[in-house]
Amino acid sequence: MRLAWSGASAPTVALEDDLGAAAAAGFDTVELYLPKLWADLERRGPDGVAEALARRRLAAVALGPITDVTFRDAAGTEKVVAEVHGAAMLARRLGASWILVEPGERPDGADERDALRDARDSLDRLGRASERYDVGVAVVPVGLAWASLRTVGQALQAIEAVGRKSLGLALDTFHFHAGGSALEDVRRCRARTIAVLRLADAPEAEPESLREQHRLPPGAGVAPLRALLGVLQILGADPPAIVHAPLPRGESDVKGWANRLREATLRLLRDPELPRAR
C-alpha cells in the first residue's frame, strides 16, 4: 500500500509547509486538502502547485473533501456540480485520481429510502461531471448521527445503484467505527470499488459522541483497523492509504507529527488481522 499524508491533518498550516512536512517524513503521496488548496491557487495557480509537488517528489492521489453533496436545493446542487467540475479539472492537472465527497445532513422526516434516492441522484450527477476529466468521485460515508450516508453499506448501495465506474468508496476507518459499519459490508465490496483507505483510530467512547477532532493516530484507539486491513488483503484491494489524524491542539511541530503518523501506520500495515479459517 502506498502511504499518503492528508493535508487535513494540519488544516491551518500553509500548503508549502504542509508539503514540506510530508516529504520530510518520507511520504511520497498526498491528499490535498481543498480549503487550503483553493487559497493557495489564488496566489500561484495550478502550475505553481504542480511545481511545488514535483520539487518535493510528491504525487497527489486525491483532492478533498467537497462536503454536503446530498439533500441540496436546485441552486445548491448546481453549486456542488460546479465545485466538482473545478476540482476534477485541477485533479487532472495535478495527477490526482480521485475527488473525495461527503454527504450532507438528512432532513427531518427523511428516511433511509429517501437518503438512498437522493444520494443516487446526486452521485450520478457528480460522477458524470468528473468523468469529463478522467477523474473519479470517492464517497466518504460520515459516521456522525446527522449524515445521510453513515455506513459503508449505505454508501455502497448508492454507488451500486448509480453504476458508474467513476464512483468509488473512500473507506474512512474513523467513520467506519463511529457510524457502526460492519466488516461484512466491506467483504462484499469489489476490490476496484475501494478507491482510497483513510486511516485514523478512535478513542474508547460512545461512538455517537465522536467528532472529527477525536481522530487518533492509527493503532492508538479501538477502531477495527487491523481487521479492516485483513479484509482488504483477502479481497486483493490495494488502495492508497491516506493518514488523516489532526495535529494535537497546542502542538506546532508538523514535521514531527507527520513522521509519527507515518511510523504508526507502517507498524499497523505490517500486522493485519486475517480472518480465521472456519
pLDDT, tens digit (0-9, with 9 covering 90-100), for 180-229: 999 999 999 999 999 999 999 999 999 999 999 999 999 999 999 999 99
pLDDT digits (tens, 9 = 90+) for 143-163: 999 999 999 999 999 999 999
What pLDDT band is residue 277 in, cutting at 50, 70 and 90? very low
- State which amino acid sits at residue 239: P
Query: How confident is the model at residue 276, as a pLDDT?
Result: 61
User: Which residue, among 20, 28, 11, has the nearest Cα to 249 in the 3D structure?
Assistant: 11
Q: What is the CATH number of domain 3-269?
A: 3.20.20.150
List the chain domain ranges: 3-269
- 121 grid coordinates: 441522484
CA atoms in the 13 A half-sphere facing the CB of 38? 11
pLDDT digits (tens, 9 = 90+) for 91-135: 999 999 999 999 999 999 999 999 999 999 999 999 999 999 999
Grid look-up 486511516 returns 199
CA 111, 102, 27 angle in degrees (round to 5)?
Answer: 150
Cβ proximity of 147 and 141 under 8 Å: yes
Distance CA 222, CA 227 (A): 11
Distance CA 3, CA 270 (A): 13
Cβ proximity of 245 and 219 under 8 Å: no
- 72 grid coordinates: 441540496
Distance CA 169, CA 269 (A): 20
Distance CA 16, CA 21 (A): 9
